[in-house]
Structure 1
Amino acid sequence: MRLRFEQSGVWWEPQPADQLGSGGEARIYRLPGEPPRVAKLWHKPTEERARKVAAMIRNPPVDPMAGQGHVAIAWPLDRLLADGPAGRVRGFVMPRVEGMRPIIDFFNPRTRLQVCPLFNWFYLHRTARNLVIAIRALHERGYVVGDLNESNILVSERALVTLVDTDSFQVWDAETGVLYRCRVGRPEFTPPELQGKSFARINRGPEQDHFGV
């Protein structure tokens, strides 16, 4: 399967040796070249997903850690199109994040002692600060995380934070007036007013992210 980078027109063919992981919705592949990037290829591409990612690429948030050479929000950079006249969007390109762990490894005391024993209370407070700064940057552009949980927040040994799985966020496309909702959520991070409701039918707000934090 050959895929084309929408912006540059360069062709790329994913290889089994370059696959970094696979989940319920997509596979992740290493991409050649610099800066480090990965490709997220959906198992079931849809036109809605393609339009949503296009809206995200047109209006990226300001990354609050860019000045430190760190990616705090793993935002889509480009779309990947299938070979053929239709050029169906099969996935997208995003920054590659390395040397980080899920946040649960740090807020669980026993695990934290095993994986990073020098990560003390100072680093925990710094992690919390960096997390809310990244989320604020999203809110300032009209985005809502929605499904905020320990699996889509990564933390480095320097307490730097990266938000991943960004294509699941709630996205408002100001150009078309379309709202792409976040269709998933974890009960333990969901506020009382949304418990038991269908996320696919709910417009979320920043206050729901605040509860998740």
Structure 2
Amino acid sequence: MTSTDGTDEHGPALVLGDGTRVTRGAKPLGTGGQGRVWGIEERADLAAKIYDRSPEPAQLRRLAAMLRADPLAGERLAPGQPPMLVWPVVLVEAGGRPVGYGMPYLDPAAHTPLSGLLQKQVRLRRFNGRAHWKFLLGVATNLAYMTAELHQQRFVVGDLSSANAVVDTNGYVTFLDCDSFAFTDSLTGESFGCDVFTDDYASPERQRGEQPTRQSDDFALAVL
């Protein structure tokens, strides 16, 4: 709940880029290396990633570039299909300074991490016996198609792993943690890399500390 002095129980109230004041949910939806993800009470369609620390200038430039970009925007979604990417769509401020961004909300109860889909017991529990080989082949096809389309638009996933994507009960895939994608800002020409990777899916060159490429994404995709 937001008080009349512009604060809530977590600190300064959150304000979207259009000036709308919003309230984060009572508990975070998830945590990561950079911050926590919260539901937004006034916007059921949005979640907010709030950084644990004040973002550095390079991080703010990356975020600004992501807000200008809109990868896979031309893809036509089927009825009921969730977004392909949990991509930043609006800046979030608190106390007059940027603290994170808003992104499409995904219902955790309706999505399963790919890591769970690789486990028989999870498949049986979450998909009621529907996760047979044809279903799994469809998920793999969707994942490969999305990766190829991102490459076509000059984006590299970078940290492609079973933990950074989820699937719904219809087999539609959504990429998470998109703020680690590697890409070049079409406006400024600045390139943004990806310094994180998951050991089990990282190609040899990534293990050596090199920046990700389409080929390193393909390596991770083959492992998946």
TM-score normalised by the chain length of structure 2: 0.83
Show the counterpart of 1:109.
Answer: 120
Q: 8 Å contact 1:71–1:162 — kept in the other structure?
A: yes
Q: 8 Å contact 1:65–1:72 — kept in the other structure?
A: no
Give the match's secondary structure for 2:15. Answer: strand
Show the counterpart of 2:183.
Answer: 171
In structure 2, distance between residues paired with 1:164 and 1:204: 17
Give the match's secondary structure for 1:75. Answer: coil
In structure 1, distance between residues paired with 2:213 and 2:13: 39
Show the counterpart of 1:59.
Answer: 69
Give the match's secondary structure for 1:188. Answer: helix
Give the match's secondary structure for 2:29. Answer: strand
Q: 1:131 aligns with which of 126, 143, 146?
A: 143
In structure 1, distance between residues paired with 2:220 and 2:148: 13
% same residue: 28
Q: 1:32 aligns with which of 34, 41, 45?
A: 41
Structure 1 runs of 4+ aligned residues shifted over 4 Å read none
Stretch of structure 1 that moved more, 105-114 or 174-183: 105-114
Give the match's secondary structure for 1:182. Answer: coil
Show the counterpart of 1:205.
Answer: 213
Q: 1:23 aligns with which of 17, 32, 54?
A: 32
- Root-mean-square deviation (CA), in Å? 1.8
Aligned-pair CA distance for 1:18: 4.9
Show the counterpart of 2:4.
Answer: none
Question: AA paired with 1:91?
Answer: G
In structure 2, distance between residues paired with 1:101 and 1:164: 12
Return closer, same or farther for 1:153/1:96 CA change in 2, 3 Å cut-off.
Answer: same
In structure 2, distance between residues paired with 1:171 and 1:53: 12
Aligned-pair CA distance for 1:168: 1.2
Q: Which runs of 5+ in 1 are unaligned?
A: none
- Trace 1:35-184 onto structure 2 (pairs within 5 A): 36-44=45-53, 45-63=55-73, 64=75, 66-68=77-79, 69-84=81-96, 88-98=97-107, 99-116=110-127, 117-184=129-196
Question: AA paired with 1:103?
Answer: L
Is the counterpart of residue 12 in structure 1 residue 22 in structure 2?
A: yes
Return closer, same or farther for 1:190/1:19 CA change in 2, 3 Å cut-off.
Answer: closer
Return closer, same or farther for 1:3/1:115 CA change in 2, 3 Å cut-off.
Answer: closer
Q: Which runs of 5+ in 2 are unaligned?
A: 1-11
Question: AA paired with 2:124?
Answer: L
